[in-house]
Amino acid sequence: MTRLDIDINAVNFEDQQEIVVRELQNQFNCSREEARHYHYNAAIDLIIKLGCNHSSRKISKNKFLESIDKTKSLFNIWHYKYKGRAKYLKKLHSDLFPRSLNTQPLHRVFVIDCSLSKSLYDIKSCIYAIQASWSNFPRRGNGKYSPYIFLNNLEEVDLHLLKNQIFNEGLSFSDGYRFSGSKFDLDTILNAKSQLDIKFQFIENTSDLREVVSTTNHKIEVYEFFGGDNQTNLCITNKSKVQIYDFNDIKDIV
């Protein structure tokens, strides 16, 4: 009969966590923050998935390291509950979106999975939060910038309804289409970020999204917020993936 052995002299959870983070830092030759927020989270997520697999819970060391090296996800539901919502989201915000007077006018693309949203109002509120935080139109200088937003897993009819609501409320945007029925024009959407009357860029579909991130000559950062396994297959080096538990958490992170 199998016995359960308990080591009452074992190190506490926080010390164990720090030991694992240091080992990951050495393994991947990365910073402490990268080890903690990328590889550690990925490792926890993989272990949970293996634990739920009743047919096979085994994995080789090489396969384990390969899996957590490819994953750059900044969210784990276990950490969310363990550390508490407010504290954890605040930490994600400071890690992902550090702000300063010298914030660079980059091409920032926000990919939002709408599958967890309860209404168009929630989605619209999220858009307003992103636009308010990541639009900058100074009176002087060349620091103008505004965000690109792509709504994933939203029906076309709802997308167009949402765009009409936002436009009628006075929040101007560009989607890269000069008129109804025209083809997507990359220059139109890229140049719109420097126009004072355009507050953000709407990306209509995945095809337009790929064109924006693959052909621009400017430095680009992509932030993908997704629920469950609803990730895009967008391949880009400078991309951060954040798995969300509640759609409204996005507003606190950005």
pLDDT block averages, 10 residues each, the chain of length 254: 73 84 86 74 79 80 79 58 76 76 76 93 95 74 78 93 93 83 81 74 89 77 82 70 86 91
Q: Return the pLDDT at 247.
A: 93
Q: What are the boundaries of each domain within the chain?
A: 13-72, 105-253
What fold characterizes domain 105-253?
Answer: Aldehyde Dehydrogenase; Chain A, domain 2 (3.40.309)
Q: Return the pLDDT at 142.
A: 56
Q: How far apart are CA 121 and CA 95, in angstroms?
A: 28
Q: Environment class of residue 90 by beta-carbon count within 10 Å: exposed (0-12), middle (13-18) or buried (19+)?
A: middle
Residues in the chain: 254
- Any idea which residue has 């709408």 for tokens? 114
Strands (DSSP E) found in 98-190: 107-113, 148-152, 173-174
Q: How far apart are CA 139 and CA 46, in angstroms?
A: 48
Q: Would you tell me how many other CB atoms lie within 10 Å of the CB of residue 38? A: 22
Q: Return the pLDDT at 76.
A: 57
